[in-house]
Structure 1
């Protein structure tokens, strides 16, 4: 079981479903959400600026990322997250969850070292079982 997962998606129904499936599968003890990439980057900036040397702040071990969102989409988030500004988080794995499986998007996702998979929405228990094996 993971300690914390971050789900980044602009659709509240997708976020609710994601939480339900993750809880039901005992995949993570905590699920946090962001509605777009900018909100997620703000979350990581908060961790960066409030971490205490004596008591490190829990950070997500896995991110489920939607690609098409207002304000800041998934690709833009990945560009920022892959930069040196966020290098202390480079061990966090990302799974792109998209409603379309465009072969070009799949190829593009391989350019980001933190992206471990590209899966089709909605998230399912079998997907989580598959990811458990992949994260070992």
Structure 2
């Protein structure tokens, strides 16, 4: 079981479903959420400001990331998250969880070493079982 998972999605129903499925599958103890990439970066900036060993241990081990969101989408988040400013978190694995499986998006995701998979919404218990083996 993971300590913390971060779900980044602008749809409140998707976030609720993520929380429910992750909890029922005993996949993670804590589930943090963000409504867009900008909110997610603020979450990591807050962790950076506290800068205690406890907070670093508490950071998410896995991120479920939607691509199409207002304010800051998934690609912009990945671009920012890949910079040295967030190098403390470069071991965090990212799963792109999108409603569209565009072959171009799949190819683009390979540019980011932190992205370990590209899966279709909605999240499911079977998906989490598959991911347990992968991480």
- After superposition, what is the alpha-carbon deviation per residue over 1:53-90, rounded to whole angstroms, capped at 9, x for unaligned? 5x444100000000000000000000000011101100
CA distance in 2, matches of 1:42, 1:103: 30
Alignment partner of 2:69: what SS? coil
CA distance in 2, matches of 1:116, 1:90: 13
Alignment partner of 1:29: what SS? strand
- TM-score, with normalisation over the residues of structure 2? 0.97
Q: Could you say which structure has the higher helix fraction?
A: 2
Name segments (4+ residues, structure 1) moved above 4 Å: none
Alignment partner of 1:78: what SS? helix
Tell me the residue number matched to 2:62: 62
Tell me the residue number matched to 1:107: 107
Q: Does 1:78 align with 2:78?
A: yes
CA distance in 2, matches of 1:26, 1:112: 28
Tell me the residue number matched to 1:127: 127
Alignment partner of 1:117: what SS? strand
Q: 1:100: how far off?
A: 0.3
Stretch deviating more after TM superposition (120-129 or 43-52): 43-52
RMSD over aligned Cα atoms: 0.8
- TM-score, with normalisation over the residues of structure 1? 0.96
Q: Could you say which structure has the higher strand fraction?
A: 2
Show structure 1 runs of 5+ residues with no match.
Answer: none
- After superposition, what is the alpha-carbon deviation per residue over 1:92-122, rounded to whole angstroms, capped at 9, x for unaligned? 0000000000000000000001000000000
Q: 1:51: how far off?
A: 1.6
Q: 1:2: how far off?
A: 0.2
